[in-house]
Amino acid sequence: MISGASSAELVIAEPNSHEAELLVLLSAQRGIRAVAAEDGKSALDLIDHSTKAFLLEIELPGWDGFRCLEFLTAHHPSIPTIVLSHTDQAAAAVKALQLGASHYLTKPFDPEELFFEVYRAFKQRSLGAQGMQPTPPQVTGESDGPTMVATSPAMSDLMEKAEKIAPLDAGVLLTGESGVGKGILARKIHALSPRADRPFVVVSCPALPRDLLESELFGHEKGAFTGAIKRRIGKIESAAGGTLFLDEIGELPIDLQPKLLSVLQDRQFHRVGGEKIIHSNIRLIAATNIDFSGRIRDGSFRKDLYYRISAIPLDIPPLRDRPEEIAPLIRQILADIADRRSTPLLELSPDAMVLAERYHWPGNIREMENILERSSAFCGGHTITAVDLPAEFHSLPNGEHHQSIADLGNRPLKEIERAAIMQSLKLCNGNKAETARRLGISEKSIYNKIRSYQAMPS
């Protein structure tokens, strides 16, 4: 079965029909034309002049993912390929990267992370079409850096500190809630530093299984493990002279922490399976949304590594604490969306802007990007009105919860939890992945909770 639209920007090879349809739907919600096929050969046949990226599941009937990658590298080298694999396929994922994949994600994947990589691939394809040198996967080196909105006193102070510490080589630890813009600030610090003309390399610690994370960071030699068919240069080595950004460093496995500490202290390391000493000249910027004190107490994070990475701590306040920046951020994000789609400038109607400024934005800037992508895809014309915004924007006058909180005092905790999950599920139009993201729990937990509620008396 093939689903989606012809002349698609994103071609998907996914053997599971339900997952294929979901990926096409998620793409449409973000204004991306996508088409899917359930086998590799059929998916490759869908590539045309409109294709900007290819999304590939490793396990496919007929032509498997590896054969598809070989074909893409030989016949469509300018089309970036994002690979999907299961968590127990670390060696296969390494092989996929060696065969030319620009990035890979493990299943179950986070839709936000997936489409972040899709947009990155679109940008890489666009640069290639313009005859410009595309940046390597997970590596950026923009000299001017991304734009940040800093009109509130808190953000103005934060940017002033960032400018002061940018010329230094000391480690920087960025803290703040998920989606608050830690990656943007990291890129800004790099762009303001003397290393701005060198690579900015990103590694997401929780996105990779442990075995692949070690290879991703430090590289490996040919034959180091099953699937290591040739030498691979790791991200630390790729960042030579530049900046290494470790996102969610609190999730770094405990057995890899001494090796990273050695890199930071001695500026040298070995590739996996190698004996040669590799010298490293990098600046580390790390980010986390966790409190390290608990991790250090339970032994899952080394105190000496924490001190090394947090020489300069910078905390980014949540969006709800800087409401004066909501409107400028919306205008900036809509301008980026219009530029990416090559459409006229998008805008919010006055009534929609009022709702947006009242909303509490629990997912911060990442949630804002997601909502604006979705709303702009379905709005009439180029103006997003109040009716185009999600239901939760209309359900909380002035963004307050006073009445609902007052009703919770005498209710059992399990009943409150059930009400919160079912209401959130309704606000997300039944989207369990979105519900899980908003509540800060796993999608598996959502399914388990719903099953338990179905067994409970009404």
User: Where are the chain's structural domains?
Assistant: 2-129, 139-317, 322-454
Q: How many angstroms separate the CA atoms of 278 and 271, rounded?
A: 8
For position 138, what pLDDT does the model report? 36
Residue indicated by tokens 């606000």? 427
Q: What is the pLDDT of residues 391-401, one digit of tens each?
A: 888 875 443 44
Assign 3-state DSSP to the chain and report helix, strand, coil percentages, each to 5: 50, 15, 35
Q: What is the pLDDT of residue 140?
A: 37
Q: Which helix (H) or strand (E) holds 3?
A: strand 2-4
**What is the fold, at CATH topology level, of the domain defined by 2-129?**
Rossmann fold (3.40.50)
Domain 2-129 and domain 139-317, same fold? Reply is yes
Q: What is the DSSP pairing of strand 2-4 with strand 34-37?
A: antiparallel
SS3 278: strand
pLDDT at 300: 92
Which of 360, 357, 359, 361 has the alpha carbon at shortest distance from 369?
361
Contacts of 441 (CB under 8 A, 6+ apart): none
Determine the 3-state secondary structure of 81 from DSSP: strand
Question: Which residues does 59 contact at the CB level (< 8 Å), separation at least 6?
Answer: 15, 65
What is the rounded distance in angstroms from the CA atom of residue 363 to the CA atom of residue 435? 11
User: What region, left, alpha or beta, does residue 400 occupy, with left being phi > 0 and alpha being psi -120 to 50 degrees?
Assistant: beta
Give pLDDT, residue 127. 58
pLDDT of 5: 53
Q: Which CATH superfamily is domain 139-317 in?
A: P-loop containing nucleotide triphosphate hydrolases (3.40.50.300)
Q: Which residues of 391-406 are buried (b: 16+ CB within 10 A; e: fewer)?
A: ebbeeeeeeeeeeeee
Q: In the prediction, which pLDDT does 279 show?
A: 85
With a cut of 50, which residues of the chain have pLDDT below it? 1, 130-146, 397-408, 457-458
Asked if residue 340 lies in contact with residue 122, where contact means CB atoms within 8 angstroms, the answer is yes
pLDDT of residue 147: 58
Distance CA 34, CA 2 (A): 11
Phi, psi for 408 (deg, rounded to 5) = -90, -15
CATH number of 322-454: 1.10.8.60
Q: How far apart are CA 346 and CA 337, in angstroms?
A: 8
